[in-house]
Amino acid sequence: MNILLVNYEYPPYGGGAGNATQQIAYALVALGHSVTVLTGGHGIGEQDRHNIDVIHVGSVRASKSGSNLREMWSFLVKVCLWVLRQDTGYWNTAIIFFAMPCGPIGLLLKWRLGMPYVISLRGGDVPGFEPSIHWLHILLKPIRHSVYRKATAIVANSRSLSELSRATDPFPVAVITNGVDINLFKPSGRTNRETSPLLRMLMVSRFHAQKNLLRTLAMLEHARAVGIDYALTLVGDGPEHRSILHFIKSRGLNDVVSLTGWVEKAELVSLYQASDCFLSLSLYEGMSNTILEAMASNIPVIASDIAAHREVIEHGINGYLVSTEKIDTLVAPLSEMSDQANVRMHLGTAARRTVTDRHNWTAVANQYAMLFTNDASQTRRHRSP
């Protein structure tokens, strides 16, 4: 099949959803499909390196880490104009990431080119996931329902996100989880981590209120006060950067917390491999790519006890689930991992086994392709002119 992927963010722009789009594209090509990615911003296509044609529509994009509503609107307008210029459809099908702002593009593709499409829900596009934009979901409800009604399928990347969507909108939502590249994200093979007295922790995150970073730093400050010896590397950037920097300086955490900004993938792999544990205390999530990457790297994860995290982490088996309400809830798991290297090894081994068994991009891509295969008898096919 010739498959069109549509997402307003795609590496180097965006976070987890952009990365997922790229990995699904790679996996679809490996399965024998032809893939085009339609995305925002400006850039050079990747067809020479991965046999993927990346089309940048030239929409407004100021930051690599996130988009505001104006920039999302710019992408929607640019892509709609692009679709209207197409006379025939080279693509058989489309996967549309984010019901909003990208969902209406699916409607236009179906009307203009007769293309079936799948909607892939990622989190903030689901009512109830991001409280700050509840008003926008109410306003866009008629458009969202039109998008869902015409879709071949609606997919969420976690069971909890599927349930949240169905609680608001009366449409069936299948679950296709995120995957992880287990050949890229893997154990280092080194043993020096096991004997180090210093617990090396890693966080990779957008600096956004959803990620609960200020609360996490306060909990780590308490852990330090009761004697936990650690060093934290914090990878990322975003709207809370200034507040986080101020917190670190005002609380005297400069000597134990290092900020790197966003890093290239090769450096990120090295950071995972050099770490003893990974922290993610988000208030809400869909399916966290960074948690899967950490688990694939054979390091245990300490995560907030929320529905999405419970889908991949079993407390005490392949990581820890903790409440973020009490300031001292990090102390016990950090103490255990600091004192017992064999605990880290056991949890890390189980973590990698979890993602190897359940989360690989080939299986994810194949599940998406099967949605169209099952609907093939009703699909209008298009060929190159």
**pLDDT recorded at residue 49:** 63
Regarding pTM above 0.85, the answer is no
CA distance 252 to 255: 7
Residues of the chain with CATH 3.40.50.2000: 2-179+360-378, 192-358
Portion of the chain with pLDDT greater than 70, in percent: 92
**Superfamily (CATH) of domain 192-358:** Glycogen Phosphorylase B; (3.40.50.2000)
pLDDT, tens only, 299-350: 999 999 999 999 999 999 999 999 999 999 999 999 998 878 888 999 999 9
> CA-to-CA distance for 14 and 37, rounded, in angstroms?
14
Rounded to whole angstroms, the Cα distance separating 18 from 33 reads 20
Q: If pLDDT is split at 50, 70 and 90, which confidence band does 196 have? A: low
User: 172: how many CB neighbours lie within 10 A of its CB?
Assistant: 10
User: In whole angstroms, what is the distance from residue 35 CA to residue 194 CA?
Assistant: 43
The two beta strands, 34-39 and 301-304, are unpaired
Question: Which of 25, 98, 54 is CA-nearest to residue 369?
Answer: 25
Q: In which band, very low, low, confident or very high, does the pLDDT at 14 lie, cut at 50, 70 and 90?
A: confident
Report in angstroms the alpha-carbon separations of 278 from 46, 87, 275, 295, 317. 31, 49, 7, 9, 15
Q: What pLDDT score was predicted for residue 194?
A: 52
Chain centroid offset of residue 179 CA: 10
Question: Is 214 within 8 Å of 244 (Cβ atoms)?
Answer: yes
Tokens 């907030």 sit on residue: 304
Instruction: Work out the burial of residue 379: count CB atoms within 10 Å of its CB; fewer than 13 is exposed, 13-18 middle, 19 or more buried.
Output: middle
Q: How far apart are CA 323 and CA 301, in angstroms?
A: 14
Residue 191's pLDDT band, with cuts at 50, 70 and 90, is low
Residue by residue, what is the 3-state secondary structure of the chain?
A: CEEEEECCCCCCCCCHHHHHHHHHHHHHHHCCCEEEEEECCCCCCCHHHHCEEEEECCCCCCCCCCCCHHHHHHHHHHHHHHHHCCCCCCCCEEEEECCCCCHHHHHHHHHHHCCCEEEEECCCCCCCCCHHHHHHHHHHHHHHHHHHHHCCEEEECCHHHHHHHHHHCCCCCEECCCCECCCCCCCCCCCHHHHCCCEEEEEECCCCHHHCHHHHHHHHHHHHHCCCCEEEEEECCCCCHHHHHHHHHHCCCCCCEEEEECCCHHHHHHHHHCCCEEEECCCCCCCCHHHHHHHHCCCCEEEECCHHHHCCCCECCCEEEECCCCCCCCHHHHHHHHHCHHHHHHHHHHHHHHHHHHCEHHHHHHHHHHHHHCCHHHCCCCCCC
CATH 3.40.30.10 for the 2-179+360-378 domain, yes or no? no
Sheet strand arrangement including 301-304: 257-261, 230-235, 199-204, 277-280, 301-304, 319-322
The per-residue pLDDT for range 344-372, each reduced to its tens digit, is 999 999 999 999 988 989 989 999 999 98
What is the rounded distance in angstroms from the CA atom of residue 64 to the CA atom of residue 291? 20
Q: What pLDDT score was predicted for residue 287?
A: 86
What tokens does 377 get?
Answer: 């008898």
Residue 158, amino acid: S
Over residues 223-261, the pLDDT tens digits come to 999 999 999 999 999 899 999 999 999 999 999 999 999
Taking the C-alpha atoms of residue 102 and residue 32, their distance in angstroms, rounded to an integer, is: 26
